[in-house]
């Protein structure tokens, strides 16, 4: 494997009973890049991220994360990643202060360095005033900030982010985007899933579009434009074209317009 490849996924398959969530997808992520995994609801994005993070076992296929197999060494993989799930699972009876203390303890970080980094993240994401309130009482956006800080605090080489901008205000979104760019500038990598096409278009170096368990297109935005022969096309237009939804949407909008004109 190329020394700069941090994630390698080959012929990944995942079945849930009779349902085929992934049908043999393959991709690589190199250090210094943000790889965006885009797809409609139910396409297999979250399943893929969970398998890479060592939270779910594949039916078949090979996954290598920083030289480790998430199936045979899930704990080793978790030491090297920061993961933000689509719906963060936090210990809501704790306060953010108690939760972060717990995270630092299980990460076994150098205390002084970790606390300094943690405090800067808390200030950056405007969490200071909430540190002693029960997590259960906080807004969705504030909980999302807690999940993001927990993923960043140990400065892992690989970040796996599933809809990380959910609930964030504009200020926090901008800070997170800048932190991701800083992360890859220092050799890290990001596996990023989002429904917000404008975000993916502006921050992802390469994009894989997944549809019905298959990657139907992959490349930079420029390469994807060439694929559909759509000079100047937005990522949203590319996405709808390669997933076969553009004509159906046009028909739906036409029918709606006719319904409202009557």
pLDDT of residue 259: 83
E strand spans, the chain: 5-16, 19-30, 34-38, 60-65, 81-84, 158-162, 189-193, 206-211, 214-219
| Mean pLDDT to the nearest integer, 23-34 | 96
> Which residues, 6 or more positions from 89, have their beta carbon under 8 angstroms from its beta carbon?
none
| Residue 1 pLDDT greater than 80, yes or no | no
* Structure-model confidence comparison of residues 89 and 61, the more confident one: 61
Among candidate residues 163, 149, 191, the one with its CA nearest the CA of residue 54: 191
pLDDT digits (tens, 9 = 90+) for 181-221: 999 999 999 999 988 888 899 999 999 999 999 999 999 99
* Structure-model confidence comparison of residues 242 and 132, the more confident one: 132
| Mean pLDDT to the nearest integer, 151-169 | 94
pLDDT digits (tens, 9 = 90+) for 121-144: 999 999 999 999 999 999 999 999
Instruction: Provide the mean pLDDT of the chain.
Output: 92
DSSP-derived letter for residue 165 is T
CA distance 88 to 140: 10
CA distance 27 to 47: 15
pLDDT of residue 262: 63
The ranges assigned to domains in the chain are 88-155
| Residue 158 pLDDT greater than 90, yes or no | yes
């Amino acid at each position: 494997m190329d020394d700069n490849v941090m994630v390698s996924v080959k012929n990944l398959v995942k079945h849930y009973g009779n349902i085929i969530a992934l049908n043999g997808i393959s991709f690589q992520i190199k250090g210094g890049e943000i790889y965006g995994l885009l797809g409609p609801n139910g396409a297999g994005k979250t399943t893929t991220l969970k398998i890479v993070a060592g939270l779910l076992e594949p039916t078949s296929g090979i996954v290598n994360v920083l030289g480790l197999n998430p199936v045979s060494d899930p704990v080793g993989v978790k030491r090297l990643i920061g993961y933000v799930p689509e719906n963060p699972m936090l210990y809501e009876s704790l306060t953010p202060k108690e939760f972060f203390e717990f995270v630092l303890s299980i990460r076994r970080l150098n205390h002084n360095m970790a606390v300094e980094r943690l405090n800067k993240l808390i200030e950056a994401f405007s969490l200071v005033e909430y540190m002693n309130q029960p997590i259960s009482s906080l807004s969705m956006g504030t909980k999302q900030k807690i999940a993001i800080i927990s993923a960043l605090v140990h400065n892992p080489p690989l970040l796996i982010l599933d809809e990380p901008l959910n609930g964030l205000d504009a200020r926090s979104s901008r800070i997170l985007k800048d932190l991701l760019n800083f992360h890859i500038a220092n050799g890290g990598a990001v596996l990023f899933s989002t429904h917000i096409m404008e975000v993916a278009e502006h921050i992802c170096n390469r994009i894989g579009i997944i549809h019905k368990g298959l990657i139907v297109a992959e490349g930079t935005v420029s390469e994807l434009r060439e694929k559909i022969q759509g000079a100047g096309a937005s990522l949203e237009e590319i996405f709808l074209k390669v997933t076969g939804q553009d004509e159906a949407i046009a028909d739906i909008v036409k029918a709606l317009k006719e319904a409202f004109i009557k």
